[in-house]
Amino acid sequence: MNRLNDHTVGALPTAVMRPAYDRAALKTGIVHLGLGAFMRAHMAAVTEAAIAAGDLRWGIVGVSLRQPDTRDALQPQDGLYTLAIRDADAQGQPRQRLQVIGAVRSLLVAPENPGAVLDAIAAADTRIVSLTVTEKGYCHDPATGALRLDHPDIVHDLAHAEAPRSAIGMLVFGLQRRFAQGRGPLTLMSLDNLPANGRVLRGAVLRFAEAVDPALARRIAAECRFPCSMVDRIVPRTTDGDRAAVSQALGAEDHWPVLGEPFFDWAVEDHFAADRPDWTLGGARFVADAEPFERLKLRMVNGTHSSIAYLGAIAGWQTVDQAIAQAPLREHIEALMRDEIEPTLADLPGLDLARYRSELLARYANPALAHRTQQIAMDGSQKLPQRLLGTVRDRLAQGLPVPRMALGIAAWMHYLRGTDELGQPYPIDDPHAAELTALYQRSLAQGVTVEAVHQMLSYAPVFGDLAGSAPLAAALLGTLQSLQKHGVRATLDAVNRGELTP
């Protein structure tokens, strides 16, 4: 089988969409840090639509921050890869729609050549630097949002201006180089699942720049833009089986395809330092304020996703569709949205929450994605604050009960024991894994008591000011006791019967 690349793309089956523009004429207006699957199924696909409409300024320089695997797979493919959009047909049979994306024009691996990343940020054609570096990539304290100047990567970068390894270091030293070359400011755009992601990024960049050169920090603050945005598309990790199936359907080998659901949403603040692509051509919307969209998405989608992930991982339900097919879990997730999350959301014009909720349940039931609960369960310490704890804070401040929110938090705590209910061990994949598992061993593993729950809640990087919350501890206590003693299914039944509301 031939490899997918610029020479073979023309011979693909006609049902496969592919670039119809002159790729050789594509300039690179965007540098993207963190060339993972999510970005390739989301921002790159939308940018492709703007390029396909004739605006050839927006090719992407894709930067991998750690591993060379994406570059190694995509270089021989001239940056081309397939996006497989998967769902089920009316009979419930999995199906996929394939599109070859041409927007990624060149590829860099930061540790191999950090100077090339700084040069790309400084380049004349570059207008936008976007990021998908995951929550932990901001080197910030998730509970407060502030950059940690004691983070090992930040300490390293402050001492190595030529060879930064954090995204924040790359941005600041790239801008320093850019300004030294007399070029104008940039838009720095976070696409990660963080509330006020643009403001978190701005805060981190300015704090780092301040430590490098206060004048640089002032110029960045005055001239660069940091639009916030809400991004939404479920993108499971690609497996070897997916690679084989996509290659088979293409009739050409693609070593690095991505898959995603048909659903797509992107609300991005129209707040740019210079030009930008018309992403509305690919289904994005430009908004004045992304905050209500982020809150909706982080709480409804990611909050319930994480709840499903921990409960599913403990129960041994491997994928989200398998988990949501369990009647008591489905009942719980639906009620969690309706009764506990939705009342904390602001009205969004034109948004029908009941419809959003049922659409979300249908997205979770998509049988063609095989989105693994263990994948979503990773990095819980970075995810819990914005996904679950914001809702909890809002409710507690109004004196409202949180039995269903507490089940998600309790499931995360219980998950730290590292073995599912079928006796299978799993690794805890989290930047704070060592501390968290030690804390679990010292507290809950010794017995689920109110003291043990308070010990867990005093873990400041996650819980911040919720440490010492008596109502939260009370909601967690019975739920944790039930999870420990009776397991996930019986606990879901008890929550659904209203028995675990303290």
Enumerate binding residues for ligand CS2 (CB under 6 A): 193, 232-234, 301-302, 305, 375-376
Q: Which is nearer to ligand CS2, 229 or 479 (CB)?
A: 229
Q: Which is nearer to ligand CS2, 375 or 496 (CB)?
A: 375
Instruction: Provide the token pair at 422.
Output: 């079928």
d(CA 386, CA 383): 6
Relative orientation angle of helices 403-415 and 303-315, to the nearest 10 degrees:
50
d(CA 266, CA 135): 18
- Could you give the C-alpha distances from 37 to 40, 43, 365, in angstroms and in order? 5, 10, 21
Report the residue closest to ligand CS2, judged by CB: 305
Nearest-approach distance from CB 383 to ligand CS2, in angstroms? 6
Nearest-approach distance from CB 125 to ligand CS2, in angstroms? 30
Nearest-approach distance from CB 487 to ligand CS2, in angstroms? 24
Q: Which is nearer to ligand CS2, 232 or 420 (CB)?
A: 232
The H or E element spanning position 30 is strand 28-33
Q: Which is nearer to ligand CS2, 140 or 297 (CB)?
A: 297
Nearest-approach distance from CB 387 to ligand CS2, in angstroms? 8
Q: Which residues pair with 225 in a beta bridge?
A: 187
Closest to 357 in 3D by CA, of 444, 425, 296: 296
DSSP 441-452: HHTGGG---HHH
Closest to 232 in 3D by CA, of 389, 65, 363, 391: 363
Nearest-approach distance from CB 399 to ligand CS2, in angstroms? 29
Q: Which is nearer to ligand CS2, 5 or 375 (CB)?
A: 375
Q: Which is nearer to ligand CS2, 77 or 366 (CB)?
A: 366
> How big is the chain, counted in residues?
502
Q: Which is nearer to ligand CS2, 193 or 391 (CB)?
A: 193
Q: Which is nearer to ligand CS2, 200 or 217 (CB)?
A: 200
Nearest-approach distance from CB 415 to ligand CS2, in angstroms? 14
Instruction: Provide the token pair at 157.
Output: 């970068």
336 neighbors 307 (Cβ within 8 angstroms)? yes
Residue 280 burial (CB count, 10 A)? 14
Nearest-approach distance from CB 305 to ligand CS2, in angstroms? 4
Query: Which own/partner pairs from 324-327 qualify as long-range (CB within 8 Å, at least 24 positions apart)?
Result: 324/361, 324/364, 324/365, 325/365, 326/489, 326/492
Chain-centroid distance, C-alpha 108: 21
Nearest-approach distance from CB 427 to ligand CS2, in angstroms? 16
| Edge-to-edge strands, sheet with 81-88 | 94-101, 81-88, 258-260
